Chains A and B, each alone.
Chain A
Amino acid sequence: MEKNTVRRFRRFAVTTVVATYLLIFVGGLVRVSGAGLGCPDWPRCFGRWIPPTSVSQLPATMDASLFNFTLAWIEYINRLVGVTIGILIFITTALAFLNFRREKRILYPSVAALLLVAYQGWQGSQVVSSGLEPFLITVHMVLAFLIVSLLIYVSQQAYYLESPETEARSQYPPEAKKLILGLWGVVIVQIILGTQVRSLIEVAADKFPLFSEGALLNAADPLSYLHGLLGVLVAGLTWYIGDRMLKRSQRPSPLVEYGAKIMMLLVAAQIAVGGILIGFHLPDLMQLYHLWIASLFTGVLLVLYSAVQRKTKVQV
């Protein structure tokens, strides 16, 4: 395998990961800005490939009450970014198929990401046609987390193909793998709890439409309290594991060293964002960052786990 081919593929895959995180951000922005129904039809927007700029441009069959210029364009940009990421993932998979057919660790997750992103596109249409059913929005978010995880795995495996000596000399604490896996499990529980808190707030908003955000947050008790408590536990665990990885590892690879530091920084940021959410009655921007940081955090955990796993394999 030519090293340049691997490097080019790895760079392309990393670019796709970054772009996918941007899409998760834009998707979250659509939700917090209330633009989910900005385009009430799918894949077109008010029957047009480019959204209308005024009510007069609406086809007679479309409901004028649904038209809001700003919301339509926010949702339309989300779809444009989504299509771009779909194309990037298609190219990643095509490159994997052309160059790494024998590397199952690259080919299989690439194909899985492509299939999932195609499904995600269709599922997005269901979110719109359901009038933003909360459960379908949660599924949309979970799928995005899965897709980006697969892409991270592909990028990391390509990196190992490019630099096979990585992790050859590193030594990690023997319990590192179990600790990271345990933390990942707690984080998944925490994310599920977070989606439930969100659902409870939405149910309360439906039942008491005129309540303020602060009053709605109270409606999510005691689950929101548990979510906060578990958040502190996740932060403590993260700092414990991060500190252990940094202090008790020998010659850690850059991925592990920086991964551990970024993981610790992200959890600190998440705690700060969580505090602002509670203290300032769920400001929209912080809701967006709360979700985005969670997606970044799970990605970094995956990188760390794969690195320690790789070390185990190298030792064998």
Chain B
Amino acid sequence: MSNKSKFPKIFLWAGSLAIILAIVAAVVIQRAHHSRADLPVYGTVPDFTYVNQDGQPFDQSDLQGKVTVLEFFFTSCQGPCPVMNMRMAELYKQYQSTDAVQFVSISVDPARDSLTALKAYSHRYGVTDHRWNFLRGPLQDVEDLSVKGFKLGGNFPAGHSTRFVLIDRDGRIRGYYRSLDQASLGVLQDHIRLLARARGQT
């Protein structure tokens, strides 16, 4: 600090430290990116054929070519469903500029959730296009899909899972996220972006 001749040495040390830090940081950043890109595959979504709120058929082939966020719910649910769908609506709005990401909500109470009820429910969450489908199918089929296909809860309607499921463009399950947890949703957004960007960018 007080000796002039020390300056070049200190400068050399500082320069070397900056270069070493740059190398370490570059390796860390690259590893972090690779680790995020490496999403597990939990299985393939089994076959199903339901009907959406517009009365159109919707089956597993509609998952092809798009990144899908899927949930189980029912319209008269006063527990977690309103919050779940509020979060889903935020994602729906966020991805309004692209068709690459879609949202699917499957009713676990088809007896009460008529297509009219589903349509009214979709309006409540601001759905104006085909990117968010509310599906209705036979109760046993839906329960099988939830329990056997997605390894989620049964005992419908109240026992349905509050998880969001992330499905890639090939119809493979790539992640489960707690819809009521902000941190988990942050990771979900990161993973949606990753899968949607995997083939070309908007």
Contact = CB atoms under 8 A, between A and B. Distances in A.
Contact of A210 (B7, B98, B181): B98
A117 to B, nearest CB: 22
Interface stretch (B24-32, B54-62, B115-123): B24-32
Given A65-B175, A285-B22, A289-B22, A29 B29 contact: yes
A209 B3 contact: no
A32 interface: yes
B152 to A, nearest CB: 13
Contacts of A285: 22, 25-26, 29
Interface string A129-153: 0111000000000000000000000
B11 to A, nearest CB: 8
A40 B183 contact: yes
Interface string A6-46: 00001000100000000001000100111101001000000
A163 B2 contact: yes
A37 B201 contact: no
A71 B182 CA distance: 18
A37 B202 contact: no
B79 to A, nearest CB: 19
Interface size class of B (residues with CB under 8 A): 35 or more
B35 A211 contact: no
A178 to B, nearest CB: 26
Interface string A278-292: 000000110011000
Question: Taking chain B's interface residues, is the majority helix, strand, or loop, or is none over half, making it mixed?
Answer: helix
A210 B199 CA distance: 11
Contact of A71 (B35, B98, B181): B35
Name, among B3, B175, B186, B197, the residue most crowded by chain A CB atoms within 10 Å (CB to CB): B186
Interface size class of A (residues with CB under 8 A): 35 or more
B48 interface: no
B100 interface: yes
Given A65-B184, A131-B185, A210 B197 contact: yes
Contact of B187 (A66, A130, A163): A66
Contact of B196 (A29, A34, A74, A209): A209
Interface string B1-24: 111100100000000000001100
A63 to B, nearest CB: 5
A159 interface: yes
